[in-house]
Amino acid sequence: MRNHLVAYFAEHHKIVEAEALRLLLATPQPLLFSRRVLEGLGPDTPLVTTEFVERVVGALRTPARGPSSSPRPGADSSSVPVAPYALIREGFSPATGAAPLLAYGQLFQSRFQSLSRLLRGRPDLPNLHPIGEVRRTEGVTSAIAMVRDVRQTSEKHHFIVRLEDSTGAIDALVLKDSLPARTAFVPDEVVGVQLQISRDRERRLPLVEGVVRPDVPPHRPHRPTGRASRVMFLSDLHIGSRSFLEGPWEALVQFLGGRGPRPDLAKEIEHVVVAGDLVDGIGIYPNQERDLEIHDILEQYRALARRLAQLPSRLNVIVVPGNHDAVCPAEPQPALPEEIRTELPDNVRSLGNPSTFALDGVVIEAYHGRSFDDLIPAIPGASYARPTEVMKRMLLMRHLAPIYGGRTPLAPLERDGLVIDPAPEILVTGHAHTFGVDRYRGVLLLNASAWQAETEYQRMRNISPVPAQAAVVDLRDLGLTRLDFASGELVPPEVAA
Ligand SMILES: [Fe+2]
Ligand SMILES: [Fe+2]
């Protein structure tokens, strides 16, 4: 954890006093506390002092933990391991009642601030100026800006990006065959740009010569924890759907109970993370009722509770909602409501979507992945069949769902809870109903399949699922084993891939 913290502060260009670091390490959730310290510290203060940390830690220690992570009254805690996970952050934070338009202003300001903090001071952004001053400069000038939109010139197919910060907005030209054109600009992402400002400022647009994106830090060596512990990732159960894959689910239950092939592997699994679309919901898409087995939303969650109760109670099960679940669809989404949580087994914890937490010191970001619906059309060459390519892009932007006004509704909150910070070691998504694994700068990327066969709706939208796959990740070395339950029985898996 010490290395995590040092790297985290270094990434934000801060130097931490040794005593301040010791204080943070002594807190129950060091990364969460560090994040609050960074938020409280101004961008121009390079030093994290002991005094400042004392103040933040003092203020944070008093309030109780959020309702979703505290054990329920009367819950039998004997079967639940002690502090099985450390919550770092839930994207969702309750709104304080600002008028929606004002709140969206605050949301974008918060996004800009968080991401420009990561970009400021980069050597490849020399001569940094606010957008409002750029046109008064000459030669090479850098700026940090939000991309408002991108359009293509009709004749030569170059790009014009509209760049904006709180001081103003400018158009800048990206030549179609230049290096900056190779990675498509996504609306509402925050980028650093190197601009060439011509002498003839009145007639020529600033030329984009380089683009710097926040990105995750270059590969950080993973520090093995020593203890044998594994986590299984699942997603998109869609309980209540006629296409729920009952046979494969039963095989999964057998495996986790140590009654299938590789009981040695099953025994080491301590955690299960489910990345959303826990139930099929109602009224999510046109004519969904034809695809439903269970037509009542509460009954769907009761069926989910029964399915989860089939898994060994020693497991720490973490679930986040998706766009089919019974919470507000605007992201970040809150955890499941109390009346549903009380139906779930005691070893199941409901967190918001997205959520960042640590399992045995490994930082995991779990996000359902609704924004694939916006990012895939926005990024040339991206597809549902290869969601990990889009996930790399999320890490590059350090944002899970930047596009405003598309298919992913964004909640008008004061703080942008979809910014990826801290950088995780595992990023897991679902929603695409496929299975994808990749690694990017030391981060394990995983799209965690689905437990629903292809529906009519998916066929219509040209999505071909890869269902009933489970990924088991060894928390010691992030090695991954893919388990295929699609045939209704587990094919004995290869040793870690
Ligand atoms: Fe789904
Ligand atoms: Fe989904």
* Band (225; pLDDT cuts 50, 70, 90): low
* Band (42; pLDDT cuts 50, 70, 90): confident
Distance between CA atoms of residues 164 and 146, nearest Å: 5
The ligand minimizing its distance to the Cα of 278 is 1
pLDDT tens for each residue of 357-410: 999 889 999 999 999 999 999 999 999 999 999 999 999 999 999 999 999 999
Ligand 2 centroid from CA 370, angstroms: 6
**Rounded mean pLDDT of 93-120?**
85
Other CB atoms within 10 Å distance of the CB of residue 245: 21
**Rounded mean pLDDT of 115-128?**
93
% helix, strand, coil for the chain, step of 5? 25, 25, 50
Ligand 2 centroid from CA 205, angstroms: 41
Confidence check: pLDDT of 77 > 60: no
The ligand minimizing its distance to the Cα of 367 is 2
Ligand 2 centroid from CA 378, angstroms: 18
Q: Is the bond leading into 354 cis (omega within 30 degrees of zero)?
A: yes
Ligand 1 centroid from CA 408, angstroms: 14
Ligand 2 centroid from CA 280, angstroms: 9
Ligand 1 centroid from CA 4, angstroms: 33
Distance between CA atoms of residues 306 and 344, nearest Å: 8
Distance between CA atoms of residues 226 and 477, nearest Å: 9
Ligand 1 centroid from CA 469, angstroms: 14
Confidence check: pLDDT of 349 > 50: yes
- pTM equals 0.88
- Asked whether 160 and 172 are in contact (CB, 8 A), the reply is yes
Ligand 1 centroid from CA 285, angstroms: 12
**What pLDDT sits at residue 46?**
84
**What pLDDT sits at residue 314?**
96
What burial letters (b/e) apply to 18-56, b meaning 16+ CB within 10 Å? eebbebbeebebbbbbbbbbbeebeeeeeebbeebbeeb
The ligand minimizing its distance to the Cα of 323 is 2
3-state secondary structure of 244: strand
User: In the predicted model, what is the mean pLDDT of the chain?
Assistant: 89
Distance between CA atoms of residues 162 and 150, nearest Å: 6
58 or 466, greater pLDDT: 466
Ligand 2 centroid from CA 433, angstroms: 8
**What pLDDT sits at residue 64?**
42
Ligand 2 centroid from CA 387, angstroms: 13
**What pLDDT sits at residue 240?**
97
Residue 96 in tokens: 């304080």
Distance between CA atoms of residues 377 and 391, nearest Å: 14
Tell me what percent of the residues of the chain surpass a pLDDT of 70.
Answer: 92
Ligand 1 centroid from CA 482, angstroms: 20
Ligand 1 centroid from CA 74, angstroms: 33
Q: Give which of 108, 117, 125, 123 is closest to 192, Cα–Cα.
A: 125
The ligand minimizing its distance to the Cα of 236 is 1
**What pLDDT sits at residue 223?**
66
Q: Give which of 188, 252, 230 is closest to 476, Cα–Cα.
A: 230
- Asked whether 401 and 456 are in contact (CB, 8 A), the reply is no
CA 116 to the chain's CA centroid: 19
- Asked whether 206 and 129 are in contact (CB, 8 A), the reply is no
Ligand 2 centroid from CA 277, angstroms: 5
Confidence check: pLDDT of 74 > 50: no
Distance between CA atoms of residues 237 and 241, nearest Å: 9
**What pLDDT sits at residue 73?**
38
Ligand 1 centroid from CA 238, angstroms: 7
Ligand 2 centroid from CA 236, angstroms: 7
Ligand 1 centroid from CA 496, angstroms: 27
Ligand 2 centroid from CA 337, angstroms: 18
User: How far does the chain reach from its first CA to its final CA, in angstroms?
Assistant: 26
Residue 42 in tokens: 């101004």
pLDDT tens for each residue of 243-271: 999 999 999 999 999 999 899 999 999 99
Task: Give Rg (Cα) of the chain.
Answer: 23
Ligand 1 centroid from CA 321, angstroms: 10
Which residue type, as a one-letter code, is found at position 336?
A: L
Tell me what percent of the residues of the chain surpass a pLDDT of 90.
Answer: 69
**What pLDDT sits at residue 8?**
87
**What pLDDT sits at residue 161?**
97
The burial class, CB within 10 Å (0-12 / 13-18 / 19+), for 468 is buried
Q: Give which of 464, 407, 371, 453 is closest to 285, Cα–Cα.
A: 407
Ligand 1 centroid from CA 108, angstroms: 28
pLDDT tens for each residue of 427-474: 999 999 999 999 999 999 999 999 999 887 777 777 789 999 999 999
Ligand 2 centroid from CA 187, angstroms: 22
* Band (72; pLDDT cuts 50, 70, 90): very low
- Asked whether 263 and 254 are in contact (CB, 8 A), the reply is no
